[in-house]
Copies of this chain bind each other. A is one copy, B any other.
Amino acid sequence: MDVDKLRSEQDTAPNRLRALAQNRIAIEGISAEIDGGRFAAKAIAGTPFLVEADIFGDGHDVIDAAVQWRKRDGDDWSEAPLSFIENDRWRGLVTFGEIGPWQISLVAWRDLFSTWRRDTKKKIAAGQQVSLELEEGRQLVEAAQRAAKAHHPGLAELCVQLAKATRDSELAEILLSRQAGQRMKEAGPRTNLSRSHHVIDVWTDRPAAAFSAWYELMPRSQTRDPLRHGKLADVIERLPYVRDLGFDVLYFPPIHPIGLTNRKGPNNALAAGPSDPGSPYAIGSKEGGHDAIHPELGTLADFDRLVGVANELGLEIALDFAIQCSPDHPWIKQHPEWFDWRPDGSLKFAENPPKKYEDIVNVHFYRDAIPGLWYQLRDVVLFWISHGVRIFRVDNPHTKPFPFWEWLIGEVRAIEPATIFLAEAFTRPKVMMRLAKLGFSQSYSYFTWRNTKRELEDYLSELIAGDARNVMRPNFFANTPDINPLYLQQSGRPGFRTRLVLAATLAGNYGIYNGFEICEAAAVPGKEEYLDSEKYQIRVWDMEQPGNIRDDIILINRLRREHPALRSFESLRFYNAWNDKILYYGKSDPAANSFLLFHVNLDPHEPQEADFEVPLWEFGLPDEASIEVEDLLHGNHFTWHGKRHRIRLEPNERPYAIWRLYPPGVPRP
């Protein structure tokens, strides 16, 4: 090897070297960077978004860091400081002002003046002579003044003070003052300014994407006579009931024309009788497909009226987006290339061998279905958006291609960024997470099958940590037309109250399917299916029947609206209550002085009691401190003295308790 030859080549690329020398400060492990920047993180407009990263330089110099943000591909970056936490981790908050695509970038730099101050203070404390150091400090300030892009009055004044100072003691007093530190932080140079590797995308939604209470009903069951098909007009009559319960979103399974071929009968019977309505998921008939209304429900004009009345009442309508077709769907003749055909020329039905679903046909998404089908499906969504719908519950998205969803959600949001998509994917954890990363605003969850204290603590802890925290927003449905949970089949009324409180206070988004409020749990034996399911027949509901839990629903939905802590999913913390049947947790929004604690008896049969710890440490209080507390169920105020207390929860009287804490300095009402 000829080292001299190498040496002669070395000066040809100094600028390349200068470029490589950039980013002297390491910025890595950024919490908002999902899969190396492949996917966008999610935020809520107007709500502070937490950004964390590992930031560190070489050596022992003081560094500083900030997070910057802008509208995607915009020009101007806004900036907020990052603060050191521990172990090289830094943290800051960004608030995105409006919905849509945003970007963040992290910057960090060496803060030479702070390093100088730290070291000079140590030398003075050790009694060392620091005349030269003080001169160096003066030069740092003067250089900052010369380099500042804009006039900074504080810096100018500092320079004037320094010019007048003649003795070391004067120089030291000026340079080591808090004011000089502050001014140099503001206006001093950012030496070795470094930037995070990627600009990171953050999709910002409206608040309803993260905080909403859903009620689900079948429009055709809004009738008092099982032989009379409920209509959209009947649903309009029903809206005040839903609103009075305190819900934000009213969601319908598909309302499109239902196919006749191989129509299912009650309880999923293979053959339907002549008056059986069929499954609303067998979409499409000669009356139309995904952009039509089932004629027995009414007309598009009825639907528009329904949306209008709902909006006036403060309710949003959510529709089902279920891509499968009945064998009678118009697309099958119009676009045979979107479907699978068998060697004998017949249509391939849906199946899960050896089970067959002969009332359903699936489209395929590739081959000649690109681009026609994709645009068609996008236009279905846009069609309902043009009729006032902004929320779509997507049926089984995990059985449709991932690239399709990423494209569809992007296309729709480019036109209507307020659109919310809820992924109804009950499948493996990584598949659910992928759908969330692709852009689904909300996700169905495993909540329905998480019943014990350990299961709930583990699952929730997983959801509020890691990438899930920035990507996946669970919607805790307590039941659905497809899920009549075993727990509720065996729990009676206390269990319904328990599961309601858990769903509504653990997650930001939650929902119930009608019948829950009257503790409906009759099941197909041995299954989590409802007996006489509305999926296959019209049901008449009496929501006034005794034993209903409407008071609980109204109370919980009111507390959700009144207490900012409940909007903050990520603030969830589990605390110690020494009984495995009592789940004990807290939520908080310190900026709004909102601190809540929850005790829930998970045992619907027996009273449970437990000692528990009041988390005084969260407020910097010692174990023997007192704290003011309000019982949000009964309204009384009192004081908890010390950390350890005891609670008893009786399933039939009080299966749960909710407390508001007033730490010192927070005014009581």
| A residues with CB within 8 A of B | 1, 3, 6-7, 10-11, 13-14, 17-18, 20-24, 26, 28-29, 33, 35-38, 54, 56-60, 87-88, 118-120, 122-123, 125-126, 128, 132, 135-136, 139, 192, 197-198, 342-344, 346, 351-354, 365-366, 370-371, 374-375, 378-379, 382-383, 385-386, 398-404, 406-407, 415-416, 428-431, 434
Give the residues in chain B near A385, CB-CB below 8 Å.
1
Q: What residues of chain B lie closer than 8 Å to A434, measured between beta carbons?
A: 26, 28, 56
- A121 — nearest CB in chain B belongs to which residue? B353
Instruction: Say whether A343 contacts B375, CB under 8 Å.
Output: no
Say how far A534's CB is from chain B's closest CB, in angstroms: 27
Would B354 and A18 count as touching, CB distance under 8 A?
Answer: no
Report whether B23 and A403 are in contact in the complex, using a CB–CB cutoff of 8 Å: yes
Q: Are A10 and B375 in contact (CB under 8 A)?
A: yes
Contact of B403 with A21 in the complex, beta carbons under 8 Å: yes
Given A20-B407, A24-B401, A404-B21, A375–B88 Cβ distance below 8 Å? no
Q: Mind listing 12 A-B residue pairs with CB under 8 Å?
A: A3-B386, A7-B375, A20-B406, A21-B370, A21-B407, A26-B430, A26-B431, A28-B434, A38-B197, A118-B353, A126-B353, A135-B343
Complex CA distance for A167 and B398, rounded to whole angstroms: 38
Interface centre among A29, A57, A87, A354 (most CB of B within 10 A): A354
The 7 A-B residue pairs whose C-beta atoms are closest, nearest first, are: A36-B36, A126-B354, A10-B375, A119-B353, A122-B353, A14-B371, A17-B371
8 Å CB contact of A354 from B122, B370, B431: B122
A59 nearest in chain B by CB position: B399
Q: Which residues of B contact A122 (CB under 8 A)?
A: 353-354
Q: For the complex, what is the distance from the CA of A424 to the CA of B43, rounded to whole Å?
A: 42
CA distance A404 to B430 in the complex (A): 39
Asked if residues B386 and A1 are in contact (CB atoms below 8 Å), the reply is yes
B403 A56 Cβ-Cβ under 8 A? no
Give Cα A187 to B132, complex, Å.
77
The minimal Cβ–Cβ distance linking A189 to chain B, given in whole angstroms, is: 13
Tell whether, in the assembled complex, residue B59 and residue A123 are in contact, meaning their CB atoms are under 8 Å apart: no
Which among A126, A401, A415 has the highest number of chain B CB atoms within 10 Å? A401
Q: Specify which chain B residues have a CB less than 8 angstroms from the CB of A28 in the assembled complex.
A: 35, 38, 430, 434
Compute how far the CA of A378 lies from the CA of B11 in the bound complex, rounded to whole angstroms.
Answer: 13
**A1 — which chain B residues lie within 8 A by C-beta?**
382, 385-386, 415-416
**A379–B197 CB distance below 8 A:** no
With A403-B23, A403-B24, A428-B88 in contact, do A14 and B386 touch (Cβ < 8 Å)? no
Separation of A416 and B1 alpha carbons in the complex (Å): 10
Give min CB distance, A330 to chain B, whole Å.
16
Which B residues lie within 8 Å of A344 (CB)? Answer: 132
Q: Is B430 touching A56 in the complex (CB atoms < 8 A)?
A: yes
Q: Assuming the A-B contacts A20-B407, A407-B17, are A56 and B428 also in contact, with contact meaning beta carbons closer than 8 angstroms in the complex?
A: yes
Contact A370 B14 (CB under 8 A): yes
Chain B residues near A33 (CB-CB < 8 A): 36
A352 in contact with B17 (CB, 8 Å):
no
| Residues of chain B contacted by A431 (CB below 8 angstroms) | 26, 56, 58, 88
Residue in B closest to A425 when the chains form the complex, CB atoms: B58
Closest to A197 in B: B38
User: Which residues does chain B contribute within 8 Å of A13, judged by CB atoms?
Assistant: 371
For A58, the closest partner residue in chain B by CB is B401
Enumerate chain B residues within 8 angstroms of A382, measured Cβ to Cβ. 1, 3, 6
Chain B neighbourhood of A135, CB < 8 A: 343
A3 touches B88 (CB 8 A): no
Minimal beta-carbon separation of A467 from chain B (angstroms): 10
Partner of A18 from the list B88, B370, B399 (CB cut-off 8 Å) is: B370
Using Cβ atoms and an 8 Å threshold, which residues of chain B touch A198? 36
Q: How far is the CB of A128 from chain B (nearest CB, A)?
A: 6
Question: Chain B contacts of A60 at CB under 8 A?
Answer: 352, 399
A22/B403 in contact, CB under 8 A: yes
Q: Distance in Å from the Cβ of A379 to the closest Cβ of chain B? A: 5
